[in-house]
Structure 1
Amino acid sequence: MKQIAIISDIHSNLTALIEVLADIKCKGIKDIYCLGDLVDFAPWGNEVIQLVRDLKIPCVMGNHDERIAFDLPIINLKHHHLQESLVRHKAITISKKEITEDHKKWLRTLPASLSVTLSDEDYACKILLVHATPFSNDEYLFEKDPKLGLAEYLSVHNYDTMVMGHTHQPYIQRSSGKLLINAGSVGRSREADRKASYCYLTLNKNKIEVEIVKIDYDTSFVAQQIYASEIPDFYGDFLLQK
C-alpha cells in the first residue's frame, strides 16, 4: 500500500502545521507534498518556510509565495469587502518586510506544479499537484464550479487525478472520469469549524482512495499571537469565528 499526504495554504500558521505534520507521522505516511501559500496572515512565516525546507517537502508556488518572492504589487480581490482589502494589504506588506532574503530566494525556485505517480506492478495513477489550477495560481475553483475544461486538460496530459488548494475549502469530486481533490487549508480554513485540513491518497488494489482529514489545534493561541504582532487583528478574529 502506497500513500502520500498533501498539505496546502499554511499561511504562516506554525501551530496548525505542527499538528498536521504530527497527524501525518502518526498515520505512518512518509511522503508529503505542499501546494503552496506558506506565507501571510500569522506571525511565523519564516518558521513555516524553514520547517518545510528542513523536512525537504516538495512544494509548489502559491500566489502569496509568488507575491512575496518577487515583491509583486498587492491587487484588491473582487470578493473582498473594503475592510478585508485594507487589512490584507497591511498583512502582506508585513510579510514582504519580515520574510528573510534567503527564504525569498528559495520561494522563487518553487515550481508552478508537480507531477507524482503512485504505482504498483499492475496499476499507475498519475497525479497533478497545483496551487489553484493548471492555468493560474490565483484562479478560484470551488466545488460548485464547472470542471469540463479542466478535465479535458488532464486528459490531454494523461493525468488521472489533480489535487489543488487555494479556496481553503476541501472537497472530492469526479468530472469526466477525472478525480479532483481540494486539500483545503492547514492554517486558515474557510470552513465554519476553522479546523486545519489536509488530504492523503492511498493506492489500494488498483484504485486511489482519498481521505480529507480535519485536525483541531489551538486557534485561541494563534489568535493571541496575531493580536500581539503587527498583523491586523482581523486575522485573529477570523480564526475565532466558529
Structure 2
Amino acid sequence: MIQIAVFSDVHGNLPALEAVLADIEKRGIQQKFCLGDLVDFAPWGNEVVEKIRSLNIPCLMGNHDERIAFDIPVFPLSKHSEEETVARFIAIDHSKEYITEVNKKFLSELPFHLKLNYKVGKKHWNIQLLHAGLASNETYLYESENDEVFIHMLEESQSDIVVMGHTHLSFKKYFEAGGWAVNCGSVGRSKEENRLASYLILTLEEEQIFPEIIQIAYPVEETIRGIEESGIPDYYAAFLKNERISVL
C-alpha cells in the first residue's frame, strides 16, 4: 500500500496550509503534491511559496501563479459579481506588488502538468495531476459535468485517475468503464459551505485506488485578521465568514 497527499489552491492562506501539512504529517504520509495557486486573496503569498520551496513539495503552476509570475492582465469574469470583480482586481494587484522577484521566478518555472506512475505489487497506477484542465488552466470542471468529459480526460492522459483543483469545490467520481476523476478542493479559499481546508489522500493498493477527501478546521480567525490588516479587500475576509459586504 502507498499513500500520497494532494492539495491545491492555497491562495496565500498560510494558517490553512500549515494545518493541512500538520495533518498530513500526523498521518505519516511522506508523498505530497500541490496543484498550484499558491498566491492571491490572503496576505502570506511569499510565505506560502517559501514553505513549498523549503519542503521541496512538487507543485504545478496554477492560473493565479501564472498571472503573478508573468504580470498577465486581469479581465473580469462573467461568473463574478460586481463587488467580487472589484475586490479581485485589488487583491491581484496586491500580489503583483508584494510577491518577491525570487518567488515570481519560482512560480514562472513550475510545470503545467505532472504524471505519476506508482507500482504496487504487480500493478502500475497512472495518476494525472493538473490544476484545472489538460489544455487550459482556465477550465472549470464541476461534479455536474457530463461523465464523458472526464472519461475523455482519462483516455487522453492514459491514466487511472485524474486529480484537479481550481474550482475550490471537492468531488470524486468513479466510472464503470474504470477510472476516477477527483477534485481535491481548496486549502485556503474553499467555496464549500463549511469553509474547511480540503485536501486529498490517495491510497494505492494492488487491486484498487481509494480516494478520500479530507476536510479540517484551521485558525480561520487568524486569516481573517491578516486580511483585514493588509491591503487585500475585506471582501475576502467576509467570504471566509460566509458574509457579504460592499467593497465599493
Range into which the TM-score falls when normalised by the shorter chain: over 0.9
Secondary structure of residue in 2 paired with 1:180: strand
Note the C-alpha offset of 1:218: 1.2
Secondary structure of the residue that 1:9 maps to in structure 2?
A: coil
SS at 2:118's partner residue? strand
Q: For the residues of structure 1 that align with 2:29 and 2:98, how far apart are their CA atoms?
A: 33
SS of 2:226's equivalent in the other structure is helix
- Does residue 226 (structure 1) correspond to residue 227 (structure 2)? The answer is yes
**Alignment identity in percent?**
47
Q: CA shift at 1:212, angstroms?
A: 0.4
1:1-242 correspondence runs (5 A): 1-175=1-175, 176-241=177-242
**Post-superposition shift, 1:227?**
0.5
TM-score of the superposed pair, with normalisation by structure 1? 0.97
CA distance in 2, matches of 1:170, 1:25: 21
SS at match of 2:42: coil
How far apart are 1:135 and its partner, in Å?
1.5
* Conservation of the 8 A alpha-carbon contact between 2:120 and 2:206: no
Amino acid at match of 1:240: K
- Kept in 2: contact 1:122–1:206 (CA 8 A): no
4+ long deviations beyond 4 Å: none
Deviation at 1:121, TM superposition (A): 2.5
CA distance in 2, matches of 1:136, 1:31: 26
SS in 2 for 1:142: coil
Which deviates further from its counterpart, 143-152 or 179-188? Answer: 143-152
Partners of 1:110 and 1:148 in 2: how far apart? 29
Deviation at 1:91, TM superposition (A): 0.2
The answer to whether the Cα contact below 8 Å between 1:163 and 1:183 also exists between their aligned partners in 2 is yes
Q: Is 1:41–1:235's contact at 8 Å kept on the other side of the alignment?
A: yes
Partners in 1 of 2:25 and 2:120 — Cα distance? Answer: 23
Q: CA deviation at 1:118?
A: 2.2
TM-score, with normalisation over the residues of structure 2?
0.95
**How far apart are residue 93 of structure 1 and its match?**
0.2
Gap regions ≥5 residues in structure 1: none
Partners of 2:150 and 2:95 in 1: how far apart? 32
Give 1:156 deviation, angstroms. 3.6
Q: Give a deviation string over 1:45-92, Cα, whole Å, max 9, x none.
A: 000000000000001110000000000000111100111001100000
How far did 1:109 drift? 0.5
1:117 offset after TM fit, Å? 1.5
Q: Is the 8 A contact 2:77 2:85 kept in 1?
A: yes
Aligned residue type for 1:164? M
What's the Cα RMSD here? 1.1
User: Which segment is superposed worse, 148-157 or 78-87?
Assistant: 148-157
Deviates more, 1:145-154 or 1:158-167: 145-154
**Deviation sequence 1:9-33 (CA, Å, 0-9, x none):** 0000000000000000001000100
Q: Distance in 2 between matches of 1:168 and 1:149?
A: 19
Task: State the SS of the aligned residue for 2:233.
Answer: coil
| Deviation (angstroms), 1:154 | 2.2
The residue type equivalent to 2:128 in the other structure is L
Tell me the alpha carbon deviations over residues 126-183 of structure 1, each in whole angstroms, 9 at most, x when there is no partner: 0100001112111110000114144224214321110000010100002442200000
Q: How many corresponding residue pairs?
A: 242
What is the CA–CA distance in structure 1 between the aligned matches of 2:171 and 2:87, rounded to whole Å?
Answer: 28
Aligned mates of 1:198, 1:48 — CA distance in 2: 16
